[in-house]
Amino acid sequence: MFRGEGETVEILSFIANNWLVILGLAGEHISIVVVAVGFAVLTGVPIGIAITQSKRVADMVLYAASIIVTIPSIALFGLMIPILSMIGQGIGWLPAVIAILLYSQLPIVRNTYTAITNVDPALREAATGMGMTPFQRLARLEIPIAIPVIMAGVRTAVVMNIGVAAIAAYIGAGGLGVLIARGISQTDPRQLITGAIAVSLLAIVADWALLKLQKRLTPEGLKR
């Protein structure tokens, strides 16, 4: 199907002629992931903190989250369609966001939980000994120390879900997956390759940028 040099030129001209469309799709793609992972941080971090109170509950929550991640994304979309259809949202933006929100729970909750449980007990004791309340201890000691690890979880979630969002094109959520889907169904390598490369680049760039951010957010004293 790929015929070499001539096609490379075709792809480049396709990109040149459609770059606004491509940028628009990339924007859609990013917005789905950002909104969903953003909500996932708002839910996942508190859950991760809350479950540090009980090993039993923590194991249960993490187990449930790991089962969700195991389910292939297209199957999860499939399972959600009948449910969300009841409110008329079976396909489109909402199921994509919900799926990504669910998938993001595992890396974010797990990283928050492990980061906080791994805080050196001596530090915790010192903080308590200085008269910090449990809440102050959390806000001034445990969360700052945990932030790099939580960010690593966010990064994992974003990279993974850029891929999930690509598949979400098949349930009408838009994004760069649209190019791949069309490319496949119309046997059009220009769209297909453009879409595949664009979505890969997006993932690679996001991974790199979030790694930078993660290093940025690491308190100076914790850097090695």
Partner 1 sequence: MTQSLGFGRMVSLLLAFALGIWVSASGLVDSVFTYWEDIVYLTKQHLVLVASSGLAAIAVGLPAGIWLSRPSMERYAETVMQVFNIGTTIPTLAVVALSMTILGIGFPPAFFGLFIASLLPIVRNTYAGLLTVPSHLKEAATGMGMTRRQLLWRVELPNALYVIFSGIRTALAINVGTTPLAFLIGGGGLGELIFTGIDLMDTGMLLAGAIPTAALAVAVDFLMGQAQLHLIPKGVNPLR
Q: Phi and psi dihedrals of 92, rounded to 5?
A: 110, -150
153 near partner 1, rule: CB under 8 A: no
**Alpha-carbon separation of residue 66 from 30, 57, 69, 102, 110 (angstroms):** 24, 14, 5, 10, 9
75 near partner 1, rule: CB under 8 A: yes
Taking the mean position of all CA atoms in its chain, how far away is CA 135?
28
Site string for partner 1, 164-183 (x = CB under 8 A): --xx--xx-----x--xx-x
Determine which residue in the list 30, 41, 74, 94 makes contact with partner 1, applying CB under 8 A. Answer: 74
152 near partner 1, rule: CB under 8 A: no
CB of residue 44 to partner 1, shortest distance in Å: 18
Q: What tokens does 119 get?
A: 């805080």
87 near partner 1, rule: CB under 8 A: no
Site string for partner 1, 184-213 (x = CB under 8 A): x----x--xx-xxx-xx--xx--x------
Contact 200, 125 (CB under 8 A): no
95 near partner 1, rule: CB under 8 A: no
CB of residue 85 to partner 1, shortest distance in Å: 7
**N residues, the chain:** 224
Residues 1-40 that bind partner 1 (CB under 8 A): 1-2
The residue ranges that bind partner 1 (CB under 8 A) are 1-2, 55-56, 59-60, 63-64, 66-67, 70-79, 81-82, 85, 91, 159, 162-163, 166-167, 170-171, 177, 180-181, 183-184, 189, 192-193, 195-197, 199-200, 203-204, 207
